[in-house]
Amino acid sequence: MAAATVSGIHLHDLPESILTNIFLLVSDVRSRNAMALACRRWRSLERATRTSLDLRGHVRAPFLLPTCFPAVAHLDLSLLSPWGHHPFLHHQQPPQHYHHHHLLSEQAALVAARLAQAFPCVSSLAIYARDPSVLAALAPLWPDLRAARLVRWHQRPANLPLGGDLAPLLAACPGLAALDLSQFYCWTEDVPQALQDHPTAASSLVHLDLLCPASTEGFGSSELAAIAGACPKLTHLLAPCVFNPRCIEFVSNHTLLTLAIGCPRLALLHLVDPATLSSARIDSEAKEAAAITGRGLEGLFAGLPQLEDLALDICHNVRDAGPSLEALSHKCPKIKSLKLGQFHGVCKGAWLHLDGVAVCGRLESLCIKKSADLSDSSLVTIARGCSRLSKLEIHGCNKVTEMGIRKLSSMLRFTLVDIAISGCQLLDATGSLRAVEPIRDRVERLHIDCIWANPELDQLPQTPEKTTDDSDVDQVDEETPDGSRNKKCRYSDGTHDDIENRCFWFRTWTRLRCLSLWIPAGEVLTPLGDAGLESCPQLEDICIKVEGDCRMCPRPRQRVFGLSFLARYPRLAKMKLDCGEAFGYALTAPTGHMDLSLWERFYLHGIGDLGLYELDYWPPQDKEVNQRSLSLPATGLIQGCLSLRKLFIHGTTHEHFMRFFLGMPGLRDVQLREDYYPAPENDMSTEMRVDSCSRFEETLNSRLIPD
């Protein structure tokens, strides 16, 4: 190295082939952009070696398409602006006469030809396909396409034959290996029909993802059998299914056996009830038994020896599942990830020997949802048997307590880095954080429910009654390491008078990078510090989901939600604030209630105190009119977050509201996404329209933005 420095050899002097390999190893987009600014040679090398590109601009004319990325293999056109409209045209207005229609057709053909010339090596494509004409124009450009991801949240076009949405793609790309429809709304009848009409493309499919949250109906028994018969080479299959035995064509043991016979190469299989795909939490317990039994599960496992990832979220009770899960370990030796929903008898943990899922010793990821008999002893047995677990999710298991989670985390201290605890009646936020205390210095991803007052815990006999003269302060008893109990303020503003108690709760989560929180509508965020998340020096990404009926909530006892509390996390750069499942009055509210604009002011107050780089925001909605719109108070509060570079609003708003964001000096990427079903077919006259988005983007991009 010293000789190289003396002789004046520089990195720039390396041969072209070595520099090319170095550039290929860099995947971060901003790093590659910074490298391209070094010199002209580096810029040409970076452009020539980039293999993935997401186009975010508006294709107004063919000359605006970049032509310096000849090696791009993955091309994402699903984010073109205005989001959700035709990717080729400047506006989405119906032609008034033949000449206008002819001009639009010529422009679409010109843009399509330009895309094929600019990106000749595309093998993976993502596109917002609002109607089949989009795929009809794009798919023939790349007949050797290997992977496709379709996006659509608008309603299915009327008078379209079954399978018509997918026909242009399957006809033009017979070698397609991966098809992702997880964000594409269509009828369940469309998929089997399209696959049967194009057997060449269907027989080449290896990955098929059909888990679209907008679909309220799952695939029936015959439809699932048709998919399995048309795609014998499938190794990855994800599909919503009808498990309700009261419905016609429900999935039964026979269906599982048919699937195993038709697709014996499956390594990943996710079969879930459509209700579980909704972002809203479902707290109801199933009372009916599923048509799937242990015998059917054992037959499925015997027919899929290559299975590595299995998810069965059924929403109906599967009784005595322990013996079949033991068979899973023997018949599928490669199993590493398992998700079970509404399974009972997963692990009894009654004796010293391992039983049920604990026999699957190779598991690295385990999710158990709504298992009524899962207990603390079950968790200890699972920890003994599944010593490789790095990810664990416990949801809706009402017999699990803090002691069981704590023992499990102690036994898995050297492997467990991702843990989620939600919907458990005996675990509030403080109890959940105490339970994962043994892995506090190792956990990297964490999800908890922000439940500050747990009625189930308050009714426990060992909890003393509250004795205080201050009616405005709600106190609970917390247990200290020596076994004594101290009074602790449940709703506090971050300052505590009891120094000893504060020192006990001040803990540092040294490796925590991603934090996910669920909180009921009307509750506040500020008790999070007292619960145990006071210090997270490495926290970079936080996701906050608010859910509930704001119409039934009284005015909060505190005026603000408490986003300012998050300013104590120095590296926090990315936030997802999802209020999409918090619904209320869109315009005016009765006396004593708050409308959505006031709720947005409540939730967004203090966001300007955070040094965020990226913000994803789902405004609350009025379900009666399908309105999810950004209000004026929310716009003003987001404008105060001056450090933002990326802003994604999952809804719509007014054009003059969006112009507030032009005062943010570093903002360079803004997009409105109506990614909920049904997306508005025609934008309201007072909301953002195609031309409005175009004017805003032109003004935004014409500014001098510091990099």
pLDDT one-digit tens code per residue, 622-653: 887 777 889 999 999 999 999 999 999 999 88
Closest CA relative to residue 165, chosen from 183, 148, 179, 184: 184
CA distances from 66 to 38, 55, 302 (A): 20, 9, 51
Greatest alpha-carbon span in the chain: 85
Report whether pLDDT(319) > 60: yes
Distances 247 to 240, 259, 470, 498 between C-alpha atoms, Å = 14, 20, 56, 59
Who wins on pLDDT, 389 or 626? Answer: 389
Q: Is the pLDDT of residue 593 over 90?
A: no
- Number of CB atoms found within 10 A of residue 664's CB: 21
Weakest mean pLDDT among 209-213, 399-403, 421-425, 689-693? 689-693
pLDDT at 105: 61
Contacts of 218 (CB under 8 A, 6+ apart): 188, 239, 240, 241, 242, 243, 251, 273, 274
Bond into 590 cis (ω within 30): no
Q: For residue 595, which phi and psi values (nearest 5 degrees)?
A: -85, 175
The model carries a pTM of 0.87
DSSP secondary structure letters along 18-62: HHHHHHHT---HHHHHHHHTS-HHHHHHHHHH--EEE--S---SG
How far, in Å, CA of 686 to CA of 631, rounded?
Answer: 13
Look up residue 265 and give its amino acid.
R
Are 147 and 175 contacting, i.e. CB atoms less than 8 angstroms apart?
no
As given in the structure block, the two tokens for residue 251 are 């999935």
CA distance 39 to 216: 53
Distances (CA, A) of 248 to 163, 218, 225, 242, 614: 22, 11, 15, 9, 46
* pLDDT bracket for residue 88 (50, 70, 90): low
| Torsion from C-alpha of 379, 383, 384, 385, nearest 10 degrees | 100
DSSP H helices, 249-365, are: 253-262, 294-303, 322-331
Give the pLDDT confidence of 487-518 residue by residue, as tens digits.
Answer: 443 333 444 344 334 444 468 999 999 999 99
β-pair type (475-479, 485-489): antiparallel
Q: Please state, in angstroms and rounded to a whole number, the distance separating the CA atoms of residues 669 and 56.
A: 9
Q: Write down all domains in the chain, each with its CATH number in brackets.
A: 51-92+103-155+165-176 (no CATH), 182-344 (3.80.10.10)
